[in-house]
């Protein structure tokens, strides 16, 4: 189920809720099996959610060191699933093909299936119909999906999603014998040819978000230019990252940067996450709106400034050793919980965030991670 498409969510809610609960009324809750040989996990198809799920997946691996772990993926997050450690194998299902998806899930004969999605009725339905001996999922207030599972854990909006993921495992009695406290991690081999390998100073800017009402999570372009002028050194190359679909917007912005004398190049990764991760890891700094690439950069260990806007740092902020989030000033921002609750909320959160706020955060991050103070151009 695509989180950013409103029609899918409406159908999932109004059709999925009664269908799921009618079927779940015939389901008797079971106890965990005494022996777990094959365990399945499933998470949201969103890039950022999948990357943040990495910490919980490592916890699952620690809890079941001898079990075979299968990550059930969707087309949207297959590439992200392949770079997070913990699973023995991955297989892809198509959520819009229910008979085929159910058939494939039942063929796995899972002893335990853990569903880490938070709001979709469709994924709860597939978990219910999977044939797994024991199932666990979130009870998310207002989403009417918890009856599908043998065991549920409360999904909370007052804690980071990484904590919610870990709580799902820990709250149902399946936690590791030793509390490992894994943080999200990725495993990405460097490409043979490193992009921008000859550049001495690279700053990456990621301007565009994805999903529903993505423009409400984007910063005005003139502020990006002003920030870049303050971050620039004589040798700095600004790399504008984005998906191939962003190229029509990337090219005009690159031209705008060059027009004020800044060295600038667009970069849409040609090989998924390999080249992109290599670029992010060798930057002096990454500045990004709150989106999947921001999470990738933070988990990869880059210095990251996240411009959060309608997101709250304690709920969806970057998780990494050198990552900080800039909150929108004033009241009414930081309200996003499941990624789509914009109705009736502030629409100017990104506009409230000033260049000085982001620049100051960059200075502090550099100072705290061994970099000299930035020099304004």
Residues 136, 265, single domain; the answer is no
Residues 326, 212, single domain; the answer is yes
Residues 6+ apart with CB under 8 A from 224: 205, 207, 253
Q: What is d(CA 203, CA 206) in angstroms, rounded to the nearest whole number?
A: 10
How would DSSP label each residue in 150-165?
A: SEEEE--SSS-HHHHH
Residues 149, 228, single domain; the answer is no
Output the pLDDT for position 177: 56
Residues 277, 151, single domain; the answer is no
Q: Output the pTM of the full model.
A: 0.92
How would DSSP label each residue in 172-203?
A: TT---SS---PPP----PPPSS-TTTT-SEEE
Residues 97, 205, single domain; the answer is no
In a domain, 355, yes or no: yes
Output the pLDDT for position 375: 42
Instruction: Name the domain boundary from 124, 147, 170.
Output: 170
- The answer to whether the beta carbons of residues 229 and 257 sit under 8 Å apart is no
The count of structural domains within the chain is 2
In a domain, 165, yes or no: yes
Give strand ranges (E) for the chain: 38-42, 68-73, 89-92, 112-115, 135-139, 151-154, 201-206, 236-241, 263-267, 285-289, 304-309, 323-327
Q: What is d(CA 188, CA 83) in angstroms, rounded to the nearest whole number?
A: 6
Residues 206, 122, single domain; the answer is no
In a domain, 180, yes or no: no
Residues 206, 153, single domain; the answer is no
Residues 132, 257, single domain; the answer is no
Exposure letters 152-174 (e unless 16+ CB within 10 A, then b)? bbebbbeebbbbbbbbbbbbbeb
Supply the range of the domain harboring residue 222.
201-368
Residues 154, 275, single domain; the answer is no
Residues 224, 309, single domain; the answer is yes
311-355 pLDDT, tens digit per residue, is 999 999 999 999 999 999 999 999 999 988 899 999 999 999 999
In a domain, 269, yes or no: yes
How would DSSP label each residue in 93-158?
A: --TT-HHHHHHHHHHH--SEEEE--SS-HHHHHHHHTS--SSEEEEE-TTS--GGGSSEEEE--SS
In a domain, 299, yes or no: yes
Looking at residue 219, which CATH number applies to its domain? Answer: 3.40.50.2000
In a domain, 340, yes or no: yes
In a domain, 196, yes or no: no
Residues 6+ apart with CB under 8 A from 15: none
Residues 148, 288, single domain; the answer is no
- The answer to whether the beta carbons of residues 116 and 145 sit under 8 Å apart is no
Number of alpha carbons in the 13 Å side-chain half-sphere of residue 43: 28
Burial class (CB in 10 A: 0-12, 13-18, 19+), 25: exposed
With a cut of 50, list the residues of the chain below it in pLDDT: 1-3, 373-377
Output the pLDDT for position 1: 44
Strands ordered across the beta sheet of 112-115 = 89-92, 68-73, 38-42, 112-115, 135-139, 151-154
Residues 144, 70, single domain; the answer is yes
In a domain, 194, yes or no: no
Instruction: Name the domain boundary from 131, 153, 170.
Output: 170
């Amino acid at each position: 189920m695509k989180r950013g498409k409103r029609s899918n969510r409406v159908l999932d809610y109004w059709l999925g809720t009664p269908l799921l609960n009618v079927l779940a009324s015939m389901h008797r809750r079971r106890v965990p099996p005494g022996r777990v040989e094959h365990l399945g996990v499933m998470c949201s198809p969103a890039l950022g959610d999948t990357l943040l799920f990495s910490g919980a997946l490592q916890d699952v691996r620690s809890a079941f060191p001898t079990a075979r772990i299968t990550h059930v993926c969707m087309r949207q997050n297959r590439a992200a699933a392949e770079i997070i450690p913990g699973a023995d194998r991955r297989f892809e299902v198509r959520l819009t093909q229910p008979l085929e998806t159910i058939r494939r899930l039942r063929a796995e004969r899972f002893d335990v299936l853990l569903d880490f999605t938070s709001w979709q009725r469709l994924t709860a339905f597939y978990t219910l119909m999977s044939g797994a001996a024991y199932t666990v999922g979130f009870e998310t207030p207002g989403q009417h999906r918890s009856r599908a599972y043998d065991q549920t854990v409360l999904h909370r909006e007052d804690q980071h999603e990484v904590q919610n993921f870990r709580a799902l495992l820990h709250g149902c009695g399946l936690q590791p014998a030793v509390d490992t406290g894994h943080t999200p991690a990725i495993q990405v081999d460097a490409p043979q040819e490193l992009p921008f390998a000859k550049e001495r100073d690279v700053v990456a800017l990621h301007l565009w978000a994805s999903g529903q009402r993505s423009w409400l999570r984007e910063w005005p372009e003139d502020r990006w230019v002003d920030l870049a002028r303050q971050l620039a050194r004589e040798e700095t190359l600004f790399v504008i990252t984005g998906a191939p679909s962003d190229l029509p917007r990337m090219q005009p912005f690159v031209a705008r940067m060059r027009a004020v004398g800044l060295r600038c190049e667009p970069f849409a990764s040609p090989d998924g996450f390999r080249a992109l991760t290599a670029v992010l890891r060798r930057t002096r700094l990454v500045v990004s709106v709150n989106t999947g690439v921001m999470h990738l950069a933070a988990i990869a260990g880059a210095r990251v400034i996240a411009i959060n806007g309608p997101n709250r740092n304690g709920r969806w902020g970057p998780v990494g050793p050198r990552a900080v989030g800039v909150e929108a000033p004033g009241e009414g921002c930081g309200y996003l919980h499941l990624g789509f609750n914009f109705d009736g909320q502030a629409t100017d959160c990104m506009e409230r965030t000033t260049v000085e706020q982001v620049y100051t955060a960059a200075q502090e991050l550099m100072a705290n991670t061994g970099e000299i103070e930035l020099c304004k151009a």
